[in-house]
A and B are shown apart, each in its own frame.
Chain A
Amino acid sequence: MPVRGAALPYATCPYCQTLILHDARGVEEVGKVAVLPFDVSPIQLGTVLRPGDQRLTVVGRVRWAWSGGSWNEWLAQADDGTPCWLGEAAGLYMLTVEAQQWLDLPELRDFVAGGPIAPGLAVQLGARRLVASDIKEVECLGSEGDLPLPTQVGTRMASIDFRGTEGEVLSLQRDGRGASAWFGASWDLAGLRATNLRAIAGWTLPKDLQ
């Protein structure tokens, strides 16, 4: 079983759905991961994204569910190893990179300590003002590929999105291991200049995405 990124210590075996932790101490079996439900996402492991002058390769996916539905978070790695999350919902994409510095904002201290966030809470990130618009308790439905976090069935976390007026997003996550902050923007596939997309039976891959 190939293990792609050393910074991504968790890998899902595509044959037996076992989640494996590999680090300096060796390789360890963590548990079982659920089979991902069928979906018609155009992204797959190996899809290449070129937002701006970057080049990112998709190496893993987690499917999260909340009371109102479920969605994919694809892990994309830049050529220098920087991890990015590509959130996929309703055919639109949110591409974010880690931005731990925003966890120091006074408005977010309570969240980092384990407290809740009220809908409508506004935070000022430099010149941008973002508002908490999406507050969810989420549960892992399954995973594939290489990931920085364990994704056994029943893994839970708090997921909060703050949005700006131009599609900017600050995404906060908190699980048993602590809180993390990710900042980015909204995209469509054409804007991401995605290639090596999944071929979906019955649909033609648009020319600009080939």
Chain B
Amino acid sequence: MTAARAITCPACGGTIEVRAAGFSVNLACVHCGSLLDVSRPEVVLIERHAEAARAYALPLGTRGVLYGDEWAVVGATLRSDGEASWQEFLLFNPYRGYRWLVLFEGDWQFGTPLTDRPQGDGVRIVWRGEGYAAVSDPTVTTNQAVAGEFYWRLAAGDTAQCTLFERGDEVLSRECTADEENWTHLVPLPGALIAEAFGPAPTQPGRRRSAPQGFSAAGAKPQRETGDRDDLVWMFGLATITAIVALFAMVLLAGPVSVVTGRIQVPVGSRTQPERIGTITVTRPYQFVTITADTDNFHNRWVDLDYSLVDRATQQSTDAYGLVEYYTGTDSDGAWSEGSHRTETMISRVPRGTYDVYVGAEAHGWPSDPVQTPDAWYGTETISVKIDARTGAMSWGMWVTLLLGLLAWPGLILWWRNREDD
């Protein structure tokens, strides 16, 4: 017996488990998709549907161990901001409460709800002593589908204003609805760890994992079929060949290179109008465009960069965003610094055409702008930013990600075997 409350769906008559009984408020029936109110002893039908839950990357009810605690997948939702869509999973452990798993374009993040609120304006915020910068303006996010149970009245079609703030690979997400503001702290999680914790995705055939070996009285090493070891060699070989083929394909796809460079001056404490740096040409149907911003030495300043590629033929603009920031200071652990004087922004799928490259910028001091004293000799403090925009770029990050993805499984198996042998 598990600690779940069994209910009968008033719409389809199917039996459903309420896994977080007492906490869950809304439940979307796994059999017919109908939305139910399970907050009271009597189950109430909120909205009738007649289609089964769509396929999610993690099936409802699956359990897995992450960060030393066991989690059950109790809810799943498909969300969209109009441009991209992704899946979010609600995890539950009665002794630990709720967490989130977010699956966005193949990348996983683990989310913890916050009880303390970050401080600051909409652009730069501080949480537990660390600064986070906004990645985008607030965007409206819609829950296109929901399945399973939630501790608030979530329903398909619900919207929220979402803003993401980044610090390295850590993200703080703010979600605002009409009457609530919720913050979540997100950290990246390798896909291999998810597969390890929750098992392989349901569509893939399950790979046999080496079963736990009992202790043998003689202390002999457990026997293993040689077929497994051959598999591993094959896996490494295949991964290497795939990586090399991908590298050639990417170089081929990247296409001819067109470069433009320029320099802009950004006064600290104000913003500059978009300035034309030059022109680049995309000669393939689609190419990557990389924009690199390189700055002088500065401390405790941040520069927001707004890039626009304006198509000469259509005057359509493709926008992107960059951030250069560098902070130093001392605390009880001694001197620290974070950030970099250089940032690279990659714009994918830029269609064929000739583009004017415009750069607008805004520079500020941290924690506040420096007091500007009119100085005949030096004038106001400015940050000089060198801009390099080029087509035909190779996404090395993508290739490295591919390489890691390819080697993760065989690597993990190798490590596991070595550990067993020790």
- Hey, which bits of chain A sit against chain B, CB under 8 A? 37-42, 65, 68-70, 72, 89-92, 119, 133, 141, 165-167, 186, 188-189, 197, 200-206, 209
Cross-chain contact A90 with B23 (CB below 8 angstroms):
yes
Partner pick for A69 among B3, B94, B152, CB 8 A cutoff: B152
Cross-chain contact A68 with B152 (CB below 8 angstroms):
yes
Q: Nearest chain A CB to B44's CB is how many angstroms away? A: 12
Chain A residue nearest to B179 in the complex (CB): A119
B330 on interface, CB distance cutoff 8 Å: no
Partner pick for A68 among B3, B39, B95, CB 8 A cutoff: B39
Binary contact track B14-26/A, C-beta < 8 Å → 1, others 0: 0000011111010
Cross-chain contact A39 with B21 (CB below 8 angstroms):
yes
Cross-chain contact B96 with A203 (CB below 8 angstroms):
no
Residues of B within 8 A of A41 (CB): 22, 94
Residues of A within 8 A of B39 (CB): 65, 68-70
- Hey, which bits of chain B sit against chain A, CB under 8 A? 1-5, 19-23, 25, 39-41, 69-70, 92-98, 113, 115-117, 119, 151-153, 179-180
Cα separation A26 to B2 with both chains bound (whole Å): 43
Cross-chain contact B98 with A38 (CB below 8 angstroms):
no
Per DSSP, chain B at the interface is loop
Chain B residue nearest to A190 in the complex (CB): B96
Known: A41-B22, A42-B94, A70-B39. A201 touches B1 (CB 8 A): yes
Q: Nearest chain A CB to B241's CB is how many angstroms away? A: 43
Cross-chain contact A92 with B115 (CB below 8 angstroms):
yes
Chain A residue nearest to B92 in the complex (CB): A91
* 8 tightest Cβ-Cβ pairs between the two chains A and B: A91-B97, A39-B22, A202-B2, A186-B115, A69-B25, A167-B115, A69-B39, A200-B3
Q: List 16 A-B contacts (CB under 8 A).
A: A37-B41, A38-B5, A39-B21, A40-B4, A40-B23, A42-B95, A68-B39, A70-B22, A165-B119, A166-B116, A167-B115, A186-B115, A189-B95, A200-B95, A201-B3, A202-B3
Cα separation A204 to B40 with both chains bound (whole Å): 27
Chain B residue nearest to A167 in the complex (CB): B115
Cross-chain contact A203 with B70 (CB below 8 angstroms):
yes
Q: Nearest chain B CB to A63's CB is how many angstroms away? A: 8
Q: Nearest chain B CB to A100's CB is how many angstroms away? A: 25
Residues of A within 8 A of B93 (CB): 91, 203
Residues of A within 8 A of B113 (CB): 90, 92
Cross-chain contact A203 with B92 (CB below 8 angstroms):
no
Chain B residue nearest to A70 in the complex (CB): B39
Cross-chain contact A203 with B1 (CB below 8 angstroms):
no
Give 8 new A-B contacts, CB below 8 A, not counting A165-B116, A203-B70: A39-B22, A69-B25, A90-B98, A92-B113, A141-B40, A166-B117, A167-B115, A203-B93
* Most B Cβ at <10 Å: residue of A186, A202, A204, A205: A202
Chain B residue nearest to A119 in the complex (CB): B179
Cross-chain contact B117 with A165 (CB below 8 angstroms):
yes
Q: Nearest chain A CB to B68's CB is how many angstroms away? A: 8
Q: Nearest chain A CB to B75's CB is how many angstroms away? A: 12
Cα separation A91 to B116 with both chains bound (whole Å): 15
Q: Nearest chain A CB to B230's CB is how many angstroms away? A: 37
Residues of B within 8 A of A37 (CB): 21-22, 40-41
Cα separation A141 to B115 with both chains bound (whole Å): 27
Cα separation A38 to B5 with both chains bound (whole Å): 7
Q: Nearest chain B CB to A47's CB is how many angstroms away? A: 12
Known: A68-B153, A165-B119. A40 touches B97 (CB 8 A): no
Cα separation A167 to B113 with both chains bound (whole Å): 12
Known: A38-B5, A68-B152. A204 touches B115 (CB 8 A): no
Residues of A within 8 A of B2 (CB): 201-202
Residues of A within 8 A of B98 (CB): 90-91
Cα separation A200 to B116 with both chains bound (whole Å): 29
Q: Nearest chain A CB to B6's CB is how many angstroms away? A: 10
Q: Nearest chain B CB to A169's CB is how many angstroms away? A: 9
